[in-house]
Amino acid sequence: MWRKIIHIDMDAFYASVEQRDNPQLRGKAIAVGYGEARGVVSTASYEARKFGVRSAMPSLTARHKCPGLIFVPPRFDVYHEVSMQIREIFREYTDLVEPLSLDEAFLDVTVNHKNNPSATLIAKEIRKQIFETTGLTASAGISINKFLAKIASDYNKPNGQFVVLPENVEKFVENLKIEQFFGVGKVTARKMHAHGIFTGYDLKQYTEMELVKLFGKMGHEFYLHARGIDNREIEINRITKSISNETTFLQNKDNLILLTVELYHLAKEVFSRMQKENFFGKTITIKVKYADFKIITRSKTLMQKITEFHSMWTVAREMMKQIDLSGQPVRLIGFGVGNASDELVKKQVQMELSLF
Ligand code: TTP
Ligand code: MG
């Protein structure tokens, strides 16, 4: 009856690779990234996390929190190589593998090449095999769908796993913080809080209609997820074509500064997803929906792929200044990055934007 889904995620991935390859870094607080003024931390070793150093934190803040922090420049080719090794291991168990980034993937092991009926034991075996092959540890979440498996993989991190059995799903979801739900970033979380929604239990008190009204098409997802339902299949050929995010205001806004602040939060969230998915597009798009529901979009394609927040934001802020705010207030603002290097993808981005 139930599907068996595993989410595997490597522990402190870039940092663990660096500690593996340089014994002098083992047991030490390290950050992968550049330590200079505009640098950000890609990830930190668990030793550095004790001091509060986190992914996407400005390097100067990180240094302040952890004075002895050692910065190590990233070696993407090595991370990529490890990524290929772990994907090969996954495929020994099932063809239904959906990589989400270099270090994480969903696996559907309902039916599997080893004829092993226990997803829990499969996850253990995979983690052991990853360790033997790469010298690195991974954590796993096991449950009946992607939404639950992904949350569960964080519960016994590092080097652990956690199972959410069908009979425990309801309680598990009720107790989740709203921030843990798929699709809830900082902006949506603020909106949820404004409506008194802090946990899965709170979310479940809303009807589907109410949630759609508040959150658009994500409202359907939130309604289902609050009930532990997620019918998304494993997508074996998932390629990121664009990443976008938008927010509808509780009250319309007409002030450029306030709108720019909102745009900044959206851009931050989009950028952190770009980093996680290793997706670096070239086209920035801003979307504005006015009080009368008229929608405009403005796009700009850069010469180079966007790999750094500051330069992306500098362009976006300029684009925002060009948008006409004289006529009427704004009810929604959106921010997206697409990949314009490929014509086909470009069309797709435009299509997606018109569907927004
Ligand atoms: P994560 O799996 O989010 O983090 P992690 O593997 O470092 O740590 P955890 O044990 O909590 O899973 O991301 C995987 C890699 O992606 C991470 O090692 C570095 C990169 N990354 C960034 O470059 N920037 C980011 O903001 C994030 C979140 C990740
Ligand atoms: Mg990880």
Please report, to the nearest 10 degrees, the dihedral formed by the alpha carbons of residues 32, 37, 40, 41 taken in order. Answer: 40
Of all protein residues, the one whose alpha carbon is nearest to atom 8 of ligand 1 is 12
Give residue-wise pLDDT tens across range 301-348: 998 889 899 999 999 999 999 999 988 999 999 999 987 444 444 443
343 is catalytic: no
For residue 237, pLDDT over 80 is answered with no
Give residue-wise pLDDT tens across range 130-182: 999 999 999 999 999 999 999 999 999 999 999 999 999 999 999 999 999 99
- 352 CA distance to ligand 2 middle (Å): 29
Of all protein residues, the one whose alpha carbon is nearest to atom 24 of ligand 1 is 42
Q: How confident is the model at residue 239 (pLDDT cuts 50, 70, 90)?
A: low
Domain with CATH 3.30.70.270 in the chain: 5-12+77-167
- 103 CA distance to ligand 1 middle (Å): 8
Report, at the CATH architecture level, how domain 170-225 is classified: Orthogonal Bundle (1.10)
- 9 CA distance to ligand 2 middle (Å): 5
Q: Pocket of ligand 1, candidates 45, 76, 103: which has the most ligand atoms within 8 Å of its Cβ, to mutate?
A: 103
Q: What fold, for 14-76? A: MutS, DNA mismatch repair protein, domain I (3.40.1170)
Domain with CATH 3.40.1170.60 in the chain: 14-76
- CATH number for region 242-355: 3.30.1490.100
Ligand 1 pocket, CB under 6 A: 9-14, 42-43, 55-56, 101, 103-104, 157-158, 272, 275-276
**How far apart are the C-alpha atoms of 96 and 26, rounded to whole Å?**
35
Q: Kindly report the average pLDDT of the chain as a whole number.
A: 91
- CA-closest candidate to residue 16, choices 157, 122, 148: 157
| pTM, entire model | 0.74
For residue 349, pLDDT over 70 is answered with no
- 153 CA distance to ligand 2 middle (Å): 10
Domain with CATH 1.10.150.20 in the chain: 170-225
Mean pLDDT of 39-58: 94
Domain with CATH 3.30.1490.100 in the chain: 242-355
Return the CATH number of 5-12+77-167, one of 3.40.640.10, 1.10.10.10, 3.30.70.270, 3.40.50.720: 3.30.70.270
Q: How confident is the model at residue 353 (pLDDT cuts 50, 70, 90)?
A: very low
